[in-house]
Structure 1
């Protein structure tokens, strides 16, 4: 196991670099993210050292950082979401200041995600109920989805379709949007492009709405191998696996002739119970279609299989070395079975499942 400690800064989120197999970025906040500064740490894994994790760069911000995402086109760039509603783009080879900054959200930015299909676009979601789409070379957002009535805790691009985005919210729903449906009234734009300027899509134009829980949903993730399979986790303490194949979205490159058929439903295929408190993060393995990890306020990180094992069920492992809320986890993209987790105990750990 490798660990990194940053006293005074609770770790909120982390992600492995898609380009560098031993590099992790960690978003952190002073005072548990309630008030105070934020910090972006860039770490490298070095098994030859006692700690195993070596700090490479550090960037401080005026407000807490809640999430981050690596660029899919530039190996040295990271976008962060902040408690003051701003986003910042950092180059880890440069000192001190971000290379770009945006501030359109009116409340905390709780998630950012860089599309690994349309690699020039990233998304942010906020407690203001909106999801915004961005390009790093544009001074303003290129689109706004009025996604939910409550806080949008996460918004993720599909790894299978460039125009599909999923969201989860404090209103207890998961939603899937077709980003080619632009403005009210159903007007659309050419497949593979985004309309100029900002657009607002009413909540009713979600292609699929899943009433997933009577409580807040704090995290979701797309299965990397099975299109329209989603995992969700939240206040109900259960990881749920959803089959969303009822959604009718034309394939990439096909013309969008009319508004998508609006569906309400989705089938919960598996419910994985065991956490004692709310689940803060879920993430599918990038190496196996049946394995996923969850992080929870019960101070543990758990590894699950959707295929029950004889005598063991779905739970593969519990990692409980953290001493505070575990709020983030991320699978290594290069080394199968290696997971990083981060916690409000100001520590990031890298361990082998």
Structure 2
């Protein structure tokens, strides 16, 4: 399959010396993107939060301007825009901290939280409870936060190993899904807390929530997941076994902690190496994008036996691991990808 047949070349921004780990489109401005980046591929050294904007260009493809950047003491692994303040953005850092930045300022972060004991790998802002965000860490925990509070409001002992991602459901405000190195996806109902016990634990101040559903999604590490924006009980996963899978948990009775289940609706093979990021389209229920260590970003039709082939598009312009992809929230068919080659690409699918 020719990746670029009939398509204009991508718009490209290069940030030498910094490998990109994640990107996010602003929910307030259709031309603004935040990039979380790290020096030395995130192994050692500092990080940067890049703020970029798109400028209309010839042929319908924009050019990309680097507006400003913020330095951090450690590598940045994820980024999420505030759902309540158009100029505020969160970053997840390798030193275990979460930082809140105001992009209109030129100095330090306006908020810093550090409870995780290892790298923070993901942050996600709830688009329903807009004053709440969630973080996941290599320490095996997931924490809920409010930006006006100095400490987390809840801790989930999600897995006994690295939690790569934690995401709020876009349909249910108290539902969070996580994925981990143990090959499972867990779904939590935040309204049903249990409590940590033990000789050194205070059950009144250390609430934990038990997973209501555990899905054995892969025999390898599950690196990424995303909720479908139109189907409340559907989500996709990407894992080290190179597979994308679409899951439906409607047949599972929610509210029974520890239940194991989940139905795999579709399996999408094609990537040559681990799948690092998946994201559903905000405009279509059957369109899924993926980023992989095989240096490609791909677009899939998730309807089995439908009129279109499952693999719709391959973007292969990157020269290093592609670790982030994200659909434009406002313009259908516009997809951004970022990679360890220090490049942000904007393509029209």
TM-score (norm 1): 0.91
Question: In 2, are the aligned partners of 1:142 and 1:198 still within 8 Å (CA)?
Answer: no
Q: Of the candidates 236, 245, 250, which is equivalent to residue 245 of structure 1?
A: 250
Deviation, 1:310, is 6.9
Question: In 2, are the aligned partners of 1:141 and 1:198 still within 8 Å (CA)?
Answer: no
Which structure 2 residues correspond to residues 174-253 of structure 1 after superposition, within 5 A? 174-184=185-195, 198-201=206-209, 205-249=210-254
Q: Of the candidates 327, 334, 344, which is equivalent to residue 348 of structure 1?
A: 344
- Cα distance in 1 between the residues matched to 2:34 and 2:276: 18
| Residue equivalent to 1:127 | 138
- Cα distance in 1 between the residues matched to 2:143 and 2:278: 22
Matched, 1:92 2:87: no
Which structure 2 residues correspond to residues 305-344 of structure 1 after superposition, within 5 A? 305-308=301-304, 313-344=309-340
Deviation, 1:28, is 0.2
- Cα distance in 1 between the residues matched to 2:306 and 2:281: 21
- Cα distance in 2 between the residues matched to 1:324 and 1:27: 16
Matched, 1:25 2:34: yes
Question: In 2, are the aligned partners of 1:131 and 1:146 still within 8 Å (CA)?
Answer: yes
Change (3 A) 1:185 1:91: closer
Question: In 2, are the aligned partners of 1:177 and 1:207 still within 8 Å (CA)?
Answer: yes
Deviation, 1:307, is 2.1
| Residue equivalent to 1:253 | none
| Residue equivalent to 1:256 | none
Provide the alpha-carbon RMSD of the alignment.
Answer: 1.9
Q: Of the candidates 108, 114, 118, which is equivalent to residue 125 of structure 2?
A: 114
Matched, 1:12 2:21: yes
Matched, 1:41 2:46: no
Deviation, 1:181, is 1.4
| Residue equivalent to 1:269 | 265
- Cα distance in 2 between the residues matched to 1:48 and 1:197: 55
Aligned length: 333
- Cα distance in 1 between the residues matched to 2:283 and 2:224: 20
Matched, 1:78 2:89: yes
Deviation, 1:309, is 6.8
- Cα distance in 1 between the residues matched to 2:41 and 2:315: 22
- Cα distance in 2 between the residues matched to 1:78 and 1:313: 37
- Cα distance in 1 between the residues matched to 2:196 and 2:26: 40
| Residue equivalent to 1:159 | 170
| Residue equivalent to 1:285 | 281
| Residue equivalent to 1:252 | none
Unmatched tracts of structure 1, length 5 or more: 187-194, 250-258
TM-score (norm 2): 0.92
- Cα distance in 2 between the residues matched to 1:95 and 1:197: 37
SS in structure 2 of the partner of residue 68 of structure 1:
strand
